[in-house]
Amino acid sequence: MDQAEALAALAAKEKAEEQLAKAANCPPWRHAAFGLLMAGIVASPAFSFAIRTAILIAVLAAIAILVQSDRKRTGMFINGYRRGRTRMVASGLLIVVLLLYGISTYYGLALGDSLTPLLLGLAAFLIATVASVIWERVFVREMCA
């Protein structure tokens, strides 16, 4: 094996990563669907225990459906918490969603205020949808670097 072969092998690897980035392209509805799931979790304290439980079960079921949909659409599944620069985006979003959920729980369950959790749910939808778009851009940039 010589230097030229090593360079050719690395170029082949980079080409595969670029193709992977293209194949991983997410349509807008996919970003919005993720945002909706996060919104459901954050807004759930606005409702009674029975509805809250139903929302959380629906979110879990929807996550499984989204994973299946990704596999069917792209022929693969990429974990949001994969190693790399995207983990910063995923971790940052997790912290923000947990924070919003904590505030929502306080207002919804301790203070009996159902409007604030709904507004926080809307904020979670927007933040998570934008974070999903950013995640994809960071991933593509990393694969095409």
Q: Tell me which amino acid residue 33 is.
A: A
Helix (H, G, I), strand (E, B) or coil at 145: coil
Question: Could you say whether residue 74 binds other proteins (CB under 8 A)?
Answer: yes
**Selected range binding other proteins among 43-51, 66-74, 106-114, 115-123, rule: CB under 8 A:** 66-74
Contacts 24+ apart (CB under 8 A), 55-63: 62/33, 62/37, 63/37
* Cβ closest to other proteins, residue 14 vs residue 54: 14
Which helix or strand (DSSP H or E) is residue 136 part of? helix 115-143
Dihedral sign, CA of 30, 32, 36, 42? positive
Q: How many CA atoms lie within 13 A of 48 on its CB side?
A: 2
**Selected range binding other proteins among 43-51, 55-63, 74-82, 115-123, rule: CB under 8 A:** 74-82
Site for other proteins in 83-102 (CB under 8 A): 84
Eight-state DSSP code of residue 85: T
* Cβ closest to other proteins, residue 9 vs residue 99: 9
Q: Can you read off the two tokens belonging to residue 58?
A: 């629906």
User: Which of 79, 95, 98, 141 forms a contact with other proteins (CB under 8 A)?
Assistant: 79
* Whole-number Å distance between alpha carbons of 5 and 39: 50
User: Which of 51, 54, 82, 126 forms a contact with other proteins (CB under 8 A)?
Assistant: 82
Question: Could you say whether residue 1 binds other proteins (CB under 8 A)?
Answer: yes
Q: Give me the 2-21 binding string for other proteins, x by CB under 8 A, dash otherwise.
A: xx--xxxxxxxxxxxxxxx-
Question: Could you say whether residue 110 binds other proteins (CB under 8 A)?
Answer: no
The contact set with other proteins (CB under 8 A) reads: 1-3, 6-20, 23, 71-72, 74-79, 82, 84, 143
